[in-house]
Structure 1
Amino acid sequence: MNPATIAPASNADRFPVRKETLSFWTRDGIRLDADLYRPQTDEPLPLLLMRQPYGRAIASTVVYAHPRWYAEQGYLVLIQDVRGCGSSTGKFELFAHEAADGAETIAWAQQLPGCNGRVGLYGFSYQGMTQLYAASVAVGAVQAIAPAMLGPDLYHHWATEGGAFRLQLSLAWALQLEGLQAQRRQDHASWQQLRAAGQQLQSEAGIQAAETLLQELAPNSFYFDWQRSPEDDYWHAIAPDLSAIDIPALHIGGWFDPYLNGTIATYQTLKQQTTAPQWLRIGPWAHLPWGRRAGAIDFGAEAISPIDELQVRWFDAWLKDQPERLADEPAIAVFEMGRNQWRSLPDWPTGTLQVWSIASDGLAAMRSDRGRLQLGVSHSPTDDLLVHDPWRPVPNLGGHNGLAAGPQERNAIEERSDILKYRSEPFASGLLICGQPRLYLICESDRPSWDLYVVLSRQTATGLWDFSQGFRRVKQVEAGAGYWVDLQPICQRLSAGDRLCLSVALAAYPAFAVNPGNGDLPTATVPVNAQVITIQVQSAGSFLELPTVAIAVSDESA
């Protein structure tokens, strides 16, 4: 069933819209400013609220329709600058005030002229998090939410992956937020410097210059807390409490979004603790935009975001008592890449686990035709050696952790001899991977710490295209031990004639800082004492775990 059913045309003739700028004061004396998009009608209407730190005029139009369009569908739409952002007063502190300020905003908004008291929340990324914070406090005041691309566990879902700090993404975000603060102060020089630094984050020199600039202009940026903080009470103190949320939620994610695991975790947590409907949509998108193309692949017209129309139907059901608006919709639908169509699922996760082993003649790093992926358990006695040189670390390419997210063609990068390469035989029939792949790798190293960068790709007649990546930081030597690497959840069809390809490297720079190999905390740039790292990968006992779904005979040829 296709979740991209088109909603009725805009109701602009019925609901001409005007914009008003409104303010209210919090209990501690902070003025929060907002734009209200008000349909011209005497009919009391429900209200949609988005709270965000990027200047309310943007209103997340990088992925959503303009709030005027939502107002034309018969809603009051309120877009608010959070504390210390846009024209709102106070000091911006990442996530610190969003629960209290959000709850106070909702109570105020319910009393606005023309509001019937029913409130829904929408928005993605930081705007998705403001929904969770507010809904966790304003119990009973919110009727439905639509959180997109977020994560309630700030350590595991935002700052790190596999125990490693997300260097490039965190630095880029910190530069953006501090640039907006400079803009508020009308500090033109700092604005220009921060903006220019944000355009240079693909190189080590650019990373070093940006971090130095941030230290100079914003030494109290969250970036430095996130870079240095282990998993401790710091993270729990600022995390949203989901335990009180008991309302319908439409969870929205993307296969190449860095926060997909957080989106799925939020969905699963709320599904377990409440009987209120929890719906899930995952498209073939990076964090933004949500269109038909991600990375180097065009996924076709079906990939164009259906979320605006779906959100209107979602809020119509819960804020206007129109459940029939969702009558033909599946609760869970994900975009099946390869077939490039939406697929309904009975639940998440789904599928049957399939085990693939690795085998090699010892030359899997040197040649792409020597490492093998084999269905079932392997007893190959040959091991592979992999050497990481910190002078020339393996770069991050595509995937979900870099600034240029999405699938990329990997044949050129896999000519490198510091990447292990394992290939299956061509498939005789299709294979559908749907869920979270995991790699169990038995390896040992000559250094106290090392990283594992794992990529799954699809070899087709047109190239080698990655579709899932994972990263893991190993912090101590446990000779002969095995290590799990969780890859990005995915729904990927491999067709007859395709090969499944597994790649393993020891760096993904600059998405993650280069591990110095000596047990020290990694830094933004490669330190002079960074070590050459050699690992020995044992084929026997190592395996790839794939969640697979049976392909119906009716769509086998698709």
Structure 2
Amino acid sequence: MTHLAPVLLETTPLLPVRPPETVSMRTRDGVRLDADLYRPDAAGVWPVLLLRVACGRRTALTSHYAHPRWYAARGYVVVVQDMRGCGTSDGRFRPFDAEAEDGADAVAWAASLPGSSGAVALYGCGYAGLAQLLTMAEAPPALRAVAPAFAGWDVFSDWAYEGGAFRLADAMGWALRVAAEAARRVEDGVAHRALSDAVRRLPVDDEIPARPQALRDYARYAPHYDDWLTMPVPGPSWDALSPRARLADMPTDVAVLTIGGWFDPRLAGSLDAHDALVARSRAPVRLVVGPWTAAGPQDGPSIDSLQLAWFDRVLKGESAHAHERGGPVRLQDLESGRWQDLPQLPAADTTFWLNSDGLANRQGGRLSADPGEVSALDVIVHDPRGPVPAVGGHAVPDAGRVDRAGVDRRPDVAVYTSLPVSEPLTLAGRVALDLWVEADAPSFDVNAVLSVLRPDGRVLPLTHGHARVEPGDPTRPLTISLRAVCATLAPGSALRLSLAGACFPAYPINPGTGAEPGETRRVDEQPITLLIHSGPDRPSRLRLPLSRDALR
């Protein structure tokens, strides 16, 4: 493992940069898209970096990335374009609907701009990241590289739903921002104010929490939100919007640098995208997961240093910078802060069994290497009047590592803790939980959080998974995929698994009936009792990617 330097050391003189120019293009169906163009004020031709954004090109320049001038000074033509129906571009914005075709048209246009060498790369995060992968499905000849960050792979499972549960806080927050921007474009001041206020304080306490009044009153500004609520299962409509389906079995010659953050809502999809593209790409493919979140930069190396090294290598043929050397997969260790290089993301290969004396909701449950000889039953009661809150993690606006020790003391949370490790213990890869669970309602939720219990008593999340059980779904056992992790526990620390029947407002409260969240009123929510089994007859287990077994 090696440290990754926080800044990129300059090895060549910086170029002067011309003042930005506003330029426009037409899509294949005649829609005008506007962009700002930055290029070196020097003789020669340069590769093009194209950033296509949905939040307005004038406000999106520095939220995650260096200003375009920074890249232009290092020998690139940089184009920042408003997507269809965004910023000053014409048309109507419908999420993911036209990004493949518009992106391919924009790549061909960018390759012909003054100063362009004809080689184009795409970059951008979140929505702009997924749009890059959709553009790849059109195979524009000038596209040489992409660097999607915090993007995911499938709109259904990375943007709208997780484990069968609607991504309430994440999807609602994004819909409100989309709607507020649409209202601003048409100068609807009343709607813009109501929607902007709702962004700052998510209205999840409305009568129908998943369909707040602001989005009902101004549904015309974000019509996709109701569509998402009424399509709770995968299908052709979702496939039409998703790189997972659009790029299925499609070989590619585009170099892909996938950038993820441990507490980015779309990390699981980014890992799936990397695995899928590695299997059929004829160009370099790399994955880097670090301390960043979808909300913006955190401590650690800059995304700019990573992707500049990538673009220099792929587009200019330069030798790899120190930042870009290493394995195809590079993961930052959540506990030590160091970086680990791997040939691929490891699967879960070590089992820890849930054991209990029936008092896991009093922090009496255990994680051990032995399944135990006595069957046990833990009971927790989910009360919708005071649901278990979302604290930190990846599915809430304040994502990150927040101490959840107080949450684990609640009687509606079942807690299973290992003995402290006697020497450093490294987890690196995917995590899964096989849980024997049942409930006194046809439908229920299970939320699982894996944390490190430090010697000082703090409980810091490592990874998180959620599952909604619909009527008739198998639960013998119920398999919950937690997100991947990379962390080295220090001696004296322990692993902790926390289970609950809710994680609000990250996901809607399950009423117990199987009703869709858009139809569930607060008055419809009922208490649900969960029965968690462990022991030889119903062996609930946690599957972890451990480099060695250091548990006593």
Cα pair 1:200 1:207 within 8 Å, conserved: no
Q: Is the partner of 2:312 in helix, strand or coil? A: helix
Q: Which one of 463, 470, 476 corresponds to residue 475 of structure 1? A: 470
Q: Which residue of 2 aligns with 1:239?
A: 242
Q: Which residue of 1 aligns with 2:356?
A: 360
* Aligned-partner Cα distance in 2 for 1:507–1:257: 20
Q: Is the partner of 1:416 in helix, strand or coil? A: coil
Q: Structure 1 residue 88 and structure 2 residue 89: aligned?
A: yes
* Aligned-partner Cα distance in 2 for 1:164–1:60: 33
Q: Which residue of 1 aligns with 2:75?
A: 74
Q: Structure 1 residue 371 and structure 2 residue 365: aligned?
A: yes
Q: Which runs of 5+ in 2 are unaligned?
A: none
Kindly provide the amino acid, as one letter, of the partner of residue 50 in structure 2.
L
Q: Which residue of 2 aligns with 1:432?
A: 426
Q: Which residue of 2 aligns with 1:199?
A: 200
Q: Which residue of 1 aligns with 2:315?
A: 319
TM value normalised by structure 2: 0.93
Cα pair 2:96 2:241 within 8 Å, conserved: yes
Matches within 5 A, 1:71-470: 71-201=72-202, 204-205=205-206, 208=209, 211-219=212-220, 221-229=223-231, 230-240=233-243, 241-242=246-247, 243-292=250-299, 304-325=300-321, 328-349=325-346, 353-365=349-361, 367-368=362-363, 370-462=364-456, 463-470=458-465
Q: Which residue of 2 aligns with 1:299?
A: none
Kindly provide the amino acid, as one letter, of the partner of residue 289 in structure 1.
G
Kindly provide the amino acid, as one letter, of the partner of residue 148 in structure 2.
P
Structure 1 residues 518-527 or 314-323, which shifts more?
Answer: 518-527
Cα pair 2:203 2:209 within 8 Å, conserved: no
Q: 1:399 to 1:307 in 2, by over 3 A?
A: same
Q: Which residue of 2 aligns with 1:533?
A: 528
Cα pair 2:251 2:281 within 8 Å, conserved: no
Q: Is the partner of 2:39 in helix, strand or coil? A: strand
Q: Which residue of 2 aligns with 1:56?
A: 57
Q: Which one of 485, 493, 496 corresponds to residue 498 of structure 1? A: 493
Kindly provide the amino acid, as one letter, of the partner of residue 86 in structure 1.
G
> Once the 2 structures are TM-superposed, how far is the Cα of residue 307 of structure 1 from its aligned partner?
1.9
Q: Which residue of 1 aligns with 2:545?
A: 547
Q: Which residue of 1 aligns with 2:510?
A: 515
Q: Is the partner of 1:398 in helix, strand or coil? A: coil
Q: Is the partner of 2:517 in helix, strand or coil? A: coil
> Once the 2 structures are TM-superposed, how far is the Cα of residue 59 of structure 1 from its aligned partner?
3.3
Q: Is the partner of 2:545 in helix, strand or coil? A: strand
Cα pair 1:32 1:83 within 8 Å, conserved: yes
Q: 1:522 to 1:206 in 2, by over 3 A?
A: closer
Kindly provide the amino acid, as one letter, of the partner of residue 237 in structure 2.
Y
Q: Is the partner of 1:536 in helix, strand or coil? A: strand
Q: 1:353 to 1:310 in 2, by over 3 A?
A: same
Q: Which residue of 2 aligns with 1:301?
A: none
Q: 1:207 to 1:284 in 2, by over 3 A?
A: farther
RMSD of Structure 2 on Structure 1 (CA):
2.1
Q: Is the partner of 2:349 in helix, strand or coil? A: strand
1:378-410 residue CA offsets vs partner (Å, 9 max, x unmatched): 233221111111221111111111111111111
Cα pair 1:456 1:501 within 8 Å, conserved: yes
Q: Which residue of 1 aligns with 2:36?
A: 35
Q: Is the partner of 1:361 in helix, strand or coil? A: coil
Cα pair 1:106 1:138 within 8 Å, conserved: no
TM value normalised by structure 1: 0.92
> Once the 2 structures are TM-superposed, how far is the Cα of residue 461 of structure 1 from its aligned partner?
2.7
Q: 1:521 to 1:495 in 2, by over 3 A?
A: same
Cα pair 2:49 2:79 within 8 Å, conserved: yes
Q: Is the partner of 2:237 in helix, strand or coil? A: helix
Cα pair 1:24 1:33 within 8 Å, conserved: yes
Cα pair 1:419 1:504 within 8 Å, conserved: yes
* Aligned-partner Cα distance in 2 for 1:360–1:18: 67
> Once the 2 structures are TM-superposed, how far is the Cα of residue 434 of structure 1 from its aligned partner?
1.0
> Once the 2 structures are TM-superposed, how far is the Cα of residue 63 of structure 1 from its aligned partner?
1.3
> Once the 2 structures are TM-superposed, how far is the Cα of residue 207 of structure 1 from its aligned partner?
7.9
Q: Is the partner of 1:317 in helix, strand or coil? A: helix
Cα pair 1:358 1:539 within 8 Å, conserved: yes
Q: 1:273 to 1:13 in 2, by over 3 A?
A: closer
Q: Is the partner of 2:340 in helix, strand or coil? A: strand
Q: Which residue of 2 aligns with 1:298?
A: none
Task: Give % identity.
Answer: 38
1:202-244 residue CA offsets vs partner (Å, 9 max, x unmatched): 7524984972111111245211111110222110122232225
Q: Which residue of 2 aligns with 1:295?
A: none
Kindly provide the amino acid, as one letter, of the partner of residue 342 in structure 1.
W
Q: Is the partner of 1:497 in helix, strand or coil? A: coil
Kindly provide the amino acid, as one letter, of the partner of residue 283 in structure 1.
G
Matches within 5 A, 1:11-26: 13-26=14-27
> Once the 2 structures are TM-superposed, how far is the Cα of residue 333 of structure 1 from its aligned partner?
1.1
Q: Is the partner of 1:155 in helix, strand or coil? A: helix
Cα pair 2:130 2:148 within 8 Å, conserved: yes
> Once the 2 structures are TM-superposed, how far is the Cα of residue 349 of structure 1 from its aligned partner?
2.5
Kindly provide the amino acid, as one letter, of the partner of residue 24 in structure 1.
M
* Aligned-partner Cα distance in 1 for 2:474–2:23: 63
Q: 1:23 to 1:139 in 2, by over 3 A?
A: closer
State how many pairs are aligned: 538
Q: Which runs of 5+ in 1 are unaligned?
A: 293-303, 553-558
> Once the 2 structures are TM-superposed, how far is the Cα of residue 190 of structure 1 from its aligned partner?
1.3
Structure 1 residues 542-551 or 163-172, which shifts more?
Answer: 542-551
